[in-house]
Amino acid sequence: MVAFIRAISYPLSARRADRRSGPETFGAGVCDNSFSALAPKSPRHLNLFMHKPRCCFVFAALCIFSGFASAQEISLSRPGSLNFANPSGENGEGIFTALPFKSSTYARFGYDDNVFASHTNQVGSVYNEFGLSADVNIGNNRTQLTGTGTAGFIGYWQQPGTKVEPDVNIDLSFSHQFNERTIVTLDSMLSYQAQPNVSAGVGVLNAVENYVYSQNKLSVGYQWTPRIATFTNYSLNVLNYESSNLGQSNDRIEQFIGEEIRYLLKPKVVALVQYLFGDEDYEHDSLSNSQSHTFLLGADFTPSPRLTYSFRGGAELRYQNFGSSPELFPYTESTVDYKFRPESTVEWYSHYGLEESDIDSQGYRQTYRTGLKVIHKIGGKTSVSAAVYYSNSEYFDEPPVTENTVDVDLSGSYALTRKLSLTAGYSFFRDSSTLPSRTYSHARVNVGLSYSF
């Protein structure tokens, strides 16, 4: 029976985690709100979209799985939860040993042309990044603890005022299969940084202030029949700024309770229906609180072992505390994942739905986001990555505001020795807003070294 649930529920988030974990070492396992797949194990891939480490220590969990070209799930902890965080990832790859973990240190030297993300009076500065990173991958057929992460700081030479920013990301995933029918998973992400996460819409776009953001999801999966399985989810997300001015309108706690029913329609197609109840609780402004009901239909397709496609569509009914009546909004989300070579991948995602406003807490925005990322390994020593992200947001504030953002990231690494790598990166961000004070551009370039222990 467990084979069926594994076949219909292997999540996209687990696939991303797999790419970070390197060569397979522990055998089949489980991750997120899913069971492993029916058929033989397939190798895990390289890191794609997750958190932008810059110079930090991340201890994160990566899933070990049995790959089956049947179907997989786009794990939705909440509407808009496809969290392709900061577009640039760790430039250095490091070397996996026979141990269930790896560690490395890195240093970078670069230039930032707008350290405060300002519309006027832009300040540029040379900067240094220093940090440590660690990945772990521990488990057996029933229990898995996996992850990658970084922690460190960024020091600016010419920045007025505070010259050092923290940059910490932790990403953990734990799963345990109690029996052939039941699995429990816990996924947790924590970031502590100053730069806004523009590709995921976390943080105020035109503000550089230290903040903590955390996403946590507990899920219980159960197989009822050979074709039907359910997943019950609880998510807790927290955003908290150190600055009282920004915290006054942005500090909040988000809670989501969801139920998902999955049906194995065909060997390579899984159909599903999902319901989510959400509660947004602002710490300093109760009028900004809101509740939502989201209803989704979707499917997961796996035409071949190299290609997967997932889609969700439906509507969100939102009750705003300051509003007179509930409002109904559309919601869609889709992903495509293609592995064109053993260590080369393409990922595309698209999302349209409501998000919390970063202009006025007593409001929200309807946002379309899309992103494309390509990772390609050239020979045994060189790897390159290119990513482009775009978003269009309509703010339901007074007066209404429209914003378009473009985020481009390029990075690469070259292995000088087995343990030492040369890295380089470039990123560019542009925010075009009908609110002039929020329009700005931001570019960074860096070179550095990464050493794996």
The CATH number given to whatever domain includes residue 56 is 2.40.160
The domain tally of the chain equals 1
If DSSP codes are grouped into helix, strand and coil, which group holds residue 425?
A: strand
Spatial separation of the C-alpha atoms in residues 182 and 34, rounded to whole Å: 10
Residue 10 phi/psi, 5° resolution?
-65, 120
Position 400 scores a pLDDT of: 85
Tell me, what's the pLDDT at 289? 87
Q: What is the DSSP string of 256-305?
A: EEEEEEEEEEETTEEEEEEEEEEEEEESS-GGG-EEEEEEEEEEEEEEET
Rounded Cα distance, 401 and 434, in Å: 6
Write out the residue range of the structural domain in which residue 338 sits: 2-452
What confidence tens digit (pLDDT) does each residue in 58-109 have?
333 333 333 333 333 323 233 333 322 223 333 333 333 456 778 999 999 9
101's enclosing H/E stretch is: strand 101-112
> How many other β-carbons are positioned within 10 Å of the β-carbon of residue 334?
18
User: In one letter, which amino acid is 346?
Assistant: V
Closest by Cα among 339, 415, 406, 401 to 369: 406
Element (H, E) at 244: helix 244-250
Low-confidence ranges of the chain (pLDDT < 70): 1-99, 322-324, 360-362
Q: What is the pLDDT of residue 206?
A: 82
Listed residue (274, 253, 295, 373) closest to 11, CA to CA: 274
Q: What are phi and psi of 180, to 5 degrees?
A: -70, -15
CA 142 to chain centre: 25
Q: Which amino acid is at 370?
A: T
Distance CA(425)–CA(33), nearest Å, equals: 34
Residue 223 tokens read as: 């197989």
In this predicted structure, what is the pLDDT of residue 161?
86
Among residues 84, 39, 68, 45, the alpha carbon closest in space to that of 201 is found at 84
Percent of the chain with pLDDT over 70: 77
pTM above 0.85, yes or no: no
Residue 63 pLDDT: 35
- Euclidean distance between CA atoms 199 and 333, whole angstroms: 15
The first and second tokens of residue 74, run together, are 């786009």
DSSP 116: T
